[in-house]
Structure 1
Amino acid sequence: MSLTNILKSYKPLRLRVMQEGVHHGPLASTIALLSDIHSNASFFSGKKVRLLGCISDYDPISARVLIFHSTCAIEVDISLLISNLRFNIGDWVFVIGIIDQVSINMSLEHFSHSKYFRIIEGYVLRAIIFWNAGNIDVDKYEKVVKKRLKS
């Protein structure tokens, strides 16, 4: 077949309209506050969320950190990211991850500060992305998130 015949038979690709309910690419994360997840953890189970929290404890054996915001806290599994992370107790961090249901939380056994927070029991945040929030104004951030969630 000659090049001319190939070009004549060429039909441009048509863009297909995305079907409703069909996802193309990774799912976006849902911004949330730890207090929202604490009050309705089953709703967030299996969903990708973005959270702000302060690191209160770290257990290198289980590769989990405990992050808190206000009075609520959640265990974060950082086992997939551990080789790339640099953090200190007291750092404010953003975490994007999946909320998974677990049978046992490690916090009561391994985290010394867990008694000071309302732990989201039976759930862990499996971190996909974890980064330092720097010098964030936590009160302003919380107000902006609450305003965004209301709209």
Structure 2
Amino acid sequence: MSEFATNGPVASKFVFLKDVATLPPNTKVRLLGCIVDHDTAEGQIILEHAYPKNAKPIPHVLVDIDLVLESIEPSILSTGSWINVIGYTRPTQRGVRKSKARLRQPADESSFLQAVLVWTAGALKITDYEITLEEQRSAQKNLISKSK
């Protein structure tokens, strides 16, 4: 066993919402998104984040919140609320129960996340978040290229 091995959980990868569809299934991620639709009876929400600003269509992800629904304050799930989510990417939404209610299904079925933790983003400047995450990604790329 390596001296750096731990018995703790795998760290999440901080990503933009638009990146979820490109990640392999079962990747643990953390992201920020705005609730555009929700169906608490089915335990599902749809998040969007218009980044980059000119992205068409606006990136979105269907999030299954069933595992954390009992621990979430109902006010957090309001349409227009920005939330943080830690969860696992899933292959597609196929096989996931379809909402019997009004939940608007995303146009593509490739962005699906199983949430394990959800909390409010609070007061936040989205532009600052986007800049900081881009800087973090750039720094990670530099570290990887230097280690090769």
How many residues were matched structurally? 126
**Percent identity at matched positions?**
28
> What one-letter code is carried by the residue in structure 2 that aligns with 1:93?
I
Aligned twin of 1:27:
10
Alpha-carbon separation, structure 1, partners of 2:85 and 2:93 = 22
Name whichever structure is richer in strand by fraction. Answer: 1
Give 1:84's match in structure 2, choosing from 66, 71, 91.
71
Aligned-partner Cα distance in 1 for 2:121–2:31:
11
Structure 1 pair 29–120 and aligned structure 2 pair: CA distance change class (3 A): farther
Partner in structure 2 of residue 121 of structure 1: 109
Residue deviations 1:1-54 (CA, integer Å, cap 9, x gap) = xxxxxxxxxxxxxxx7536xx55210000000012224x2xx342110000000
SS at match of 2:109: strand
**Correspondence for 2:3 among 18, 22, 26:** 18
Q: Does the CA contact (< 8 Å) of 1:101 and 1:124 recur in 2?
A: yes
- Structure 2 distance, partners of 1:103, 1:82, is 19
Distance in 1 (CA, whole Å) between partners of 2:93 and 2:47 is 19
Deviation at 1:99, TM superposition (A): 0.5
RMSD of the alignment, in Å? 2.3
Deviation per CA, 1:47-79, whole angstroms, max 9, x where unpaired?
100000001111123200001100111011110
CA drift of 1:120 comes to 5.3
Aligned to 1:142: 130
Say if 2:33 is the partner of 1:53.
Answer: yes
| Length-normalised TM-score, structure 1 | 0.73
Aligned-residue offset at 1:123: 3.8
For the residue of structure 1 that corresponds to 2:9, the secondary structure is coil
Rg larger in structure: 1
Which residue of the other structure, out of 77, 101, 111, is the alignment partner of 2:103? 111
- Structure 1 residue 124 displacement after superposition: 1.6
Deviation at 1:133, TM superposition (A): 0.3
Q: Name structure 1 gaps, 5 residues minimum.
A: 1-15
Q: 1:110 to 1:102 in 2, by over 3 A?
A: farther
Which segments of 5 or more consecutive residues in structure 2 lack a partner in the other structure?
51-57, 140-148
Q: CA deviation at 1:150?
A: 1.4
Q: Does 1:73 pair with 2:60? A: yes
- Structure 2 contact 38–46 (Cα < 8 Å) conserved: yes
Structure 1 residue runs of 4 or more that deviate by more than 3 Å after TM superposition: none
> Is the contact between residue 72 and residue 120 of structure 1 (CA under 8 Å) also seen in structure 2?
no
